[in-house]
Amino acid sequence: MKWQARIVLIPLFLVTLNAAAQSPTGSPTPAVAPQVRPAFPQEQSPASPEQDAASREKAEADKARRLAQAQEEQRLAQETQERGYWVDPSTGLMWAGQDNGIAVTWHKAASYCRNLRLAGHSAWRLATLDELASLVDKSDHASERVGNMEIFAINLGRHVRGGLSLAGDPWSSNREIDRFGHPYGDGWFFDFINSKPSGDLPYLRNTKYALCVRRPGQ
């Protein structure tokens, strides 16, 4: 009977060792429930009828404002092209209604303006960079920029005041100055797409246009 009692005690001893290995105190460690996050964000409360009405009213007002601006631009552009020029009320400058329509060198552009006879006047010239910068349309509706050069002529009117018709970026009268104070090379032009002057012409030296200006009384 003694050997039978020993056989019974051995399994009991193994069960006790297994329980002690599960917990430092000898008792089983309770399982920790994992944190469960919601699969979807909580739904927001729907907008009130008053908020919906205010949003619709604002959208309609913006649409009407853009339509009125487009109609005014079309009217101004038509008048400018019929007259052949535009007088900027903010600067007093008289601008040719359109540029020469063909890309030329700086010297040919300057010669084009010197020889221009328009609206009974002959004292036309290339504009300075500051004068060209005054043509930038800074209104809200002209904030979008177009980088595709293939549709340059179509969209450039959105960035130029006065309804002027431009085929491309115009030359300015500004030129580089050498160390002796003498002008040399091609001049600077005004980039109307990015609304800034530029002189970066390593591969585009003959691709600018002549937009002529004059100051009344000269």
| pLDDT tens track for 14-31 | 444 444 445 444 445 555
pLDDT of 26 reads: 47
Nearest alpha carbon to residue 28 among 37, 19, 41, 36: 19
Nearest alpha carbon to residue 78 among 152, 158, 165: 165
Q: What is the rounded average pLDDT of the residues 138-149?
A: 48
Q: Is the pLDDT of residue 60 over 80?
A: yes
Better pLDDT: 159 or 89: 89
pLDDT of 73 reads: 67
| pLDDT tens track for 146-180 | 443 333 444 455 578 999 999 999 999 998 778 88
Domains in the chain, start-ordered, CATH in brackets?
76-214 (3.10.100)
Longest pairwise C-alpha distance within the chain: 137
DSSP states along 99-125: --SS-B-HHHHHHHHHT--BTTB---E
Q: Is the pLDDT of residue 2 over 90?
A: no
Q: Average model confidence (pLDDT) for the chain?
A: 75
